[in-house]
Structure 1
Amino acid sequence: MSDVQLQFWDKVAERYAARPLKDPGAFEEMLVEVGGWLQPGDKVLEIGCGTGSTAVRLGGGVGQWLATDLSPEMVRIAQAKEAPEGVRFVEAPADALHDAAPFDAICAFHILHLVPDAQRTLAVLREQLAPGGLLISKTWCLRDFNPLMRIIFPILRKRGLMPPINQLRYRDLRAMIEGAGFTIEGERHFGKHRHSRFVIARKAG
């Protein structure tokens, strides 16, 4: 990610951590879904972990959970939380290579629309998955929003209220995931956020 992304997320980290969930029920539903795809001995990489909420909730159900984020402030807040044994928070960009690879699963929640080159990021993630490993992602597909809503995004960006974002269509996101060598095994959305698309994809065994 760019320096602009880094500066934005460092700046908003404290407010982001203090902000209540808009749809707690949808978040809980997602956690149940993700947990159902993971095994107790799995080694998991999470990119764009933010302040670590998902890692704290799900990390205790697997063997190892490496949660990474570009923002030092986000990682600092995450590290201050009481996390299960086996969970580590590390500062790293989404397309970083990790010595702990290969992973059994990689989680990418609300991050693929933020990276400068989603196709490259997907290729790097696939490289770090074990054969048969899972990519579990949730991505805002802003290009599928109502056109009137999309007019607001550049205004928010100019005012510093939104980071640089790739406005993806879901059909294009799906094509990128498949083009990176994954087979999609599940797709859905949670709660009212139908443009936040959850995808389960598997690397060939």
Structure 2
Amino acid sequence: MSEKDRRFWDKAARKYAASAIADEEAFARTLARVRELTPPGARVLELGCGTGTAALRLADAAESYLGTDISGEMIAIAKERLADAEDRDLTLRLRFRAATAEMLAEEPDCYDIVLGFNYIHLAGDLPAALAHIRALLAPGGLFISKTPCIGEINPLIRLAIPVMQLFGKAPSVTSLTAASLEDAIRTAGFSIEETAYHSAKKKDWRPFIVARAPQ
């Protein structure tokens, strides 16, 4: 992500935090499946955590959980939410930090699970992003992605995105299909163990992908 994108998300943070989850049922299914895939004692990293909505619901399943985002404003809101959480144990497990995958990959820490919800299509250079994720994972660790595949949405919406970007109403995005995303993940050295769709309401163009790093 670029500095321009960071400024976009900083500006959008408060409005984003106030918006409702578009498909609460699908979100609940996603979180439930992540919990099933999280082993006891897991070290979890979430990239692009936004204002911490998923992290606050998942962190109790992990030994440690680090939520990161390029936007300092998003992270500030996530920290506010953590401070207001009724479960005091969360503060022992969950941390939020403004950081990118590239920054984290230069550090010695590694993780059993890396999560990217609504992340990969915003990450910029896809091969580089996946290489950083692989470097962040312990051998045999899981990368779990659920991100919009812009290449499968209504063509009129796809045509509108560059116009919105011109006026600062949309960030940089990578146009993917589920097939091209899976191909990129495999090319990065992962094996895909699961692809699912969690929405029950309409056509779902956000595949839930579970990929395992090499041992």
Q: Does TM, scored on the shorter chain, surpass 0.5? A: yes
Give how far 1:201 is off.
Answer: 0.2
Contact 1:94 1:115 (8 Å CA) reproduced? no
**Residue 94, structure 1, aligned to residue 101, structure 2:** yes
Look up the match of 1:200: 210
Give how far 1:164 is off.
Answer: 1.1
| Letter paired with 2:40 | P
| Residues 193 and 92 of structure 1, relative CA distance in 2, 3 Å threshold | farther
Computed over aligned residues only, the root mean square deviation of the Cα atoms, in angstroms, reads: 1.4
Q: 2:168 aligns with which of 156, 160, 168?
A: 160
**Residue 122, structure 1, aligned to residue 119, structure 2:** no
Contact 1:47 1:108 (8 Å CA) reproduced? yes
| 1:98-113 correspondence to structure 2 within 5 Å | 99=107, 101-113=109-121
Give how far 1:101 is off.
Answer: 2.0
| 1:1-205 correspondence to structure 2 within 5 Å | 1-82=1-82, 84=90, 85-97=92-104, 99=107, 101-191=109-199, 192=202, 194-205=204-215
Q: What is the count of residue pairs matched by the alignment?
A: 205
Secondary structure of the structure 1 residue equivalent to 2:143: strand
Higher helix share: 2
Deviations 1:156-204 (A, max 9, x none): 2223221111111221111110001100000112213511111000012
| Letter paired with 2:67 | A
Provide TM-score, normalisation by structure 1.
0.95
Secondary structure of the structure 2 residue equivalent to 1:167: coil
Give how far 1:134 is off.
Answer: 0.2
Provide TM-score, normalisation by structure 2.
0.91
Secondary structure of the structure 2 residue equivalent to 1:196: coil
Secondary structure of the structure 1 residue equivalent to 2:104: coil
| Letter paired with 1:31 | L
Secondary structure of the structure 1 residue equivalent to 2:140: strand
Which segments of 5 or more consecutive residues in structure 2 lack a partner in the other structure? none
| Letter paired with 2:49 | C
Give how far 1:144 is off.
Answer: 1.4
Q: Identity rate of aligned residues, in percent?
A: 39
Deviations 1:67-121 (A, max 9, x none): 1101000000000113512100001013222546221010011111112211111
Query: What is the CA–CA distance in structure 1 between the aligned matches of 2:21 and 2:166, rounded to whole Å?
Result: 25
Query: What is the CA–CA distance in structure 2 between the aligned matches of 1:172 and 1:75, rounded to whole Å?
Result: 30
Query: What is the CA–CA distance in structure 1 between the aligned matches of 2:203 and 2:66, rounded to whole Å?
Result: 27
Query: What is the CA–CA distance in structure 2 between the aligned matches of 1:137 and 1:123, rounded to whole Å?
Result: 14
| Letter paired with 1:90 | R
- After TM superposition, the structure 1 stretch with the greater mean CA deviation from structure 2, 68-77 or 125-134, is 125-134
Query: What is the CA–CA distance in structure 2 between the aligned matches of 1:47 and 1:100, rounded to whole Å?
Result: 17
Query: What is the CA–CA distance in structure 2 between the aligned matches of 1:178 and 1:159, rounded to whole Å?
Result: 35
